[in-house]
């Protein structure tokens, strides 16, 4: 009886999945070199970051967020983004976006030839102050 019940559940799941409309495309963005490393208490070396991104480039990923042009005063872990982005081995079939929170960050991104940017906003005043040192109302 247990097998019959499991088969019935499996059949129901199969029929349900057939009726679901899945998107034809899903974009996966690896954010470890930016989001993961900016949360580390210790500042990792530029060479480590370059090596990490180059290694990730060999995995089949198509988008690897490589850093952020934020104020080093607020996020010191990203202070070397310009050097990291300039020195990583860029593969033609991979996008290497950089997180850009403001005009200064955008200017730095353009200066080093970033072809794709990530932007963000904040829903709370405290998050905006802590991450980009600005108000959500300004």
Separation CA 42–CA 124 (nearest Å): 26
Question: Coil, strand or helix: which one is 67?
Answer: strand
Confidence of residue 1 (pLDDT cuts 50, 70, 90): low
121 has a pLDDT exceeding 80? no
How many other C-beta atoms are found inside a 10 Å radius of the C-beta of residue 44? 13
Lowest model confidence (mean pLDDT) among 25-34, 39-48, 95-104, 123-132: 123-132
58 has a pLDDT exceeding 70? yes
Residue ranges of E strands in the chain: 67-68, 98-99, 117-118
Residue 93: DSSP 8-state: T
CA end-to-end span of the chain, whole Å? 65
Question: Coil, strand or helix: which one is 94?
Answer: coil
pLDDT tens, residue by residue, 62-74: 999 999 999 898 8
pLDDT of residue 31: 94
Separation CA 31–CA 26 (nearest Å): 16
9 has a pLDDT exceeding 90? no
pLDDT tens, residue by residue, 16-54: 888 888 888 889 999 999 999 988 999 999 999 999 999
Confidence of residue 138 (pLDDT cuts 50, 70, 90): low
């Amino acid at each position: 009886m247990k097998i019959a019940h499991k088969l019935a559940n499996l059949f129901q799941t199969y029929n349900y999945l057939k009726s679901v409309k899945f998107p034809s495309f899903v974009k996966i963005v690896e954010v470890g070199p930016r989001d993961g490393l900016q949360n580390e208490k210790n500042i990792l070396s530029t060479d480590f970051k370059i090596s990490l991104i180059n290694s990730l480039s060999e995995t089949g990923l198509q988008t690897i967020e490589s850093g952020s042009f934020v104020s080093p005063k607020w996020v010191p872990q990203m202070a070397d983004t310009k050097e990291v982005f300039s020195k990583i081995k860029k593969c033609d079939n991979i996008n290497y976006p950089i997180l850009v929170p403001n005009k200064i960050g955008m200017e730095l991104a353009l200066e080093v030839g970033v072809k794709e940017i990530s932007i963000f906003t904040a829903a709370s005043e405290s998050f905006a102050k802590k991450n980009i040192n600005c108000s959500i109302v300004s």
